Every structure is written in structure tokens, then in C-alpha cells.
Structure 1
């Protein structure tokens, strides 16, 4: 498959979005797709077991600076997604992306411009972009 840019994807989504053209439909479908992404990750832990989550409070040294903090932080993930869970999560993320782009389309927002602005913001703020 060829590389796809944001505009091409956004145009295709606009072409295909027929049933859920209402902003209310798109907002609710976007929220539902967020929940499905979360659920698919949870099922990778609880049903399949290919990944584990081990989390606890992280005590950081008091004299640590922001640059060093990354060395002390963890993802809390152990293991690796199996092919089945990876496929499901990728599918759910794709659906989520579809509804994100649908929302952009209905609001006449350019996803590429949003990405550029966010990239610029995080590039300028660097590690201080703690949102």
C-alpha cells in the first residue's frame, strides 16, 4: 500500500461518511471508538495475557531535573502484543482515527494543520509540554 497523507485520508473519510453526518453522531461514535480502543487493550491484558500492566507509585529522587526524569519513568507494560491482539487494537485505532477525521471534516478543520501546529508546539516547548 502506498503512503497516505492526511489530506488524502481526510478526503476519503469525507467521501465515505454517509450514515453518521450529524455532529452528534460523530461525537458519540468517536467516544465509543475511544472506549473500544481502551477495551481492546484491557482484553489483551485480562483475556489474552500477552501483555501485563504492573504499576505502582514512582518515587523520584528529589534533585532530579526534567531531562533525567525520563530515565526513571516506565510504561508499566510487560510483554508484547500477540498478533491477534495487535490486529484488534490496530483495527480499533483505525476506527478511532476515522471518527477523529470525521469530526475534523464536520468542523472544517484540516488534520494536517492540526498536526503541524501540535508538532510546532511540542517542538518549542520540548519536555516542558507536560499536558
Structure 2
């Protein structure tokens, strides 16, 4: 069922994308939407204040095993994201997904297959997939 939703989303993007339908337009719009996602996340701290950032150097023992690192690394965020910020970030992620699907369409790549391939890779390699 999930592949149907991905395929329908990707097909709908193909149907509605008219103005920014060149590869260069799609790539630059994808970059712009990525920046908007990041900006919306940052504004939860700098404008709204629903989240707070307490960042500092992570002190990890030199002999810590790779899988033990998560036991030493703390979270830098505190607070709870408010509904207004959540909605804004959700909207920006949706726009980003739109242009990601458009890029997939332009390059004849299945968004669902890419998602599934990455899922299988991280499931197989576990934490070592990001190493």
C-alpha cells in the first residue's frame, strides 16, 4: 500500500508541476526548500522560543566504542515544539518533498524505490550505515 501512496504523490507532482519544470529549476527549488526547512527549524529557537538550544562540545572518552557514543552524547534541545512551529516545518518539509519527487520524475527514479533502498541499507548496516 505504501508504494501506491508514493507513486500517486510522484505522479501528482508530475501532473501539477508546470512552471519550474526544467532540471535546473527543480534543483534550485529543491535547494531553496531545503533552506526553508532549516530556517523554520531555527526559528523555533530564535523567533518563537518553543525550543531552546544548549550546544557545547561533546566530551567522549577516547576509548569509547562506536556503539557506545550515544551513551555519552546528550541532547542539545529542550522544550516542546509548539503547534504553530510544527505546522510551519511540516509545510516546508512537504514543499521539499514535492521538489524531491519532481527531481525523481525528471531523472526517471522512483521515490518509493529510493526510500525502500535506503531503508534496507540502514536496516542491514544499522548504526554503521552512517559511519
TM-score (ref. length: structure 2): 0.91
Q: Aligned runs of 1:38-53 on 2, under 5 Å?
A: 38-53=38-53
What is the CA–CA distance in structure 1 between the aligned matches of 2:92 and 2:74, rounded to whole Å? 24
What is the CA–CA distance in structure 1 between the aligned matches of 2:15 and 2:72, rounded to whole Å? 46
- CA-to-partner distance for each residue in 1:54-99, whole Å, 9 max, x for gaps? 1111111233222222222234111111111111110001001101
Q: Tell me if the contact between 2:40 and 2:88 (Cα under 8 Å) persists in the aligned partners.
A: yes
Between structures 1 and 2, the one with greater helix share: 2
TM-score (ref. length: structure 1): 0.91
In the alignment of these two chains, the number of paired residues is 129
Q: Which stretches in structure 2 are left out of the alignment for 5+ residues? A: none
Greater shift in the superposed pair: 71-80 or 112-121 = 71-80
What is the CA–CA distance in structure 1 between the aligned matches of 2:23 and 2:124, rounded to whole Å? 33
Instruction: Indicate the residue corresponding to 1:33 in structure 2.
Output: 33
Q: Which stretches in structure 1 are left out of the alignment for 5+ residues? A: none
